[in-house]
Amino acid sequence: MPLRDGRRDPVFNAMPPAVLFLAVPILLAAGADYVFPALGEWVYSACVLIVADPGTAVPQQPLGPWAPYLLHILVHYGFFHIAMNMAVLISAGRVVGMAFGTGVRGSAGFLILFCACSIAGAATQVLLHSGDTILLGGASTGVSGLIAAAGWVTGGWRGMARLALPWIALNIVLAFAEMAMPIPMSWAGHIGGTVAGIVLTPILLGLFSEREF
């Protein structure tokens, strides 16, 4: 269901509220480390997803072991990490958010898509994990789904394939590269989030979009 309105607005014009709803808490969580270190430590301990082999002892988390499957999107490792994720969230998120619509219904659909992709990415990372304990953080699970979604709304299944398949292929390469050297990147989480975006975008657009396609 490609979106074809022919407009080329600046990226910050008409930013869907759902994108801001995600971006603001992510940025605030990052800033907490510098302004309120104790709060930043609590956010980290409550939101980071601890991925370990069965039987491995892990710290008890304030919000329990399931909350990080979604809340890991609030945890980032440095400026470059959060800058890359914000860039994709703002650019791809704006395209996808406008396709859903900026009202309550469209915003709900966008947020459901992002959250579902984030959870799917985290679950894929847990499912495919082996070896050392890792601490999964970052919005890249969700924004990976938005990459596929942006392809759907701008070019249908061909547009989706043009954006999503190279991203999946890159992460498969990273998976093989990890065998030779440790790479601190959640290739499994990226793939899981992207696949969720491929599958769920047309379904959720059909249910929640406020636009005529």
Q: Where are the domains of the chain?
A: 17-208
Compute the half-sphere exposure of residue 48: CA atoms within 13 Å on the CB side of its CA. 20
Candidate from 20-24, 54-58, 81-85, 180-184 with smallest mean pLDDT: 180-184
Tell me: pLDDT of 6 over 80: no
Q: Span 17-208: which CATH code?
A: 1.20.1540.10
CB 49 within 8 A of CB 135: yes
Per-residue pLDDT at 33: 85
User: pLDDT tens across 103-115, in order?
Assistant: 999 999 999 999 9
Q: What global pTM score does this model have?
A: 0.91
* Closest CA relative to residue 116, chosen from 144, 93, 96: 144
Q: DSSP states of 40-52 as a string? A: HHHHHHHHSEEE-
pLDDT, the chain, mean: 90
pLDDT band at 14 (very low <50, low <70, confident <90, very high): confident
Q: Which ranges in the chain belong to alpha helices (H)?
A: 17-35, 37-47, 68-71, 79-100, 104-128, 140-180, 187-208
**For 49-68, how does the pLDDT look when each residue is reduced to its tens digit (9 = 90+)?**
998 877 788 888 999 999 99
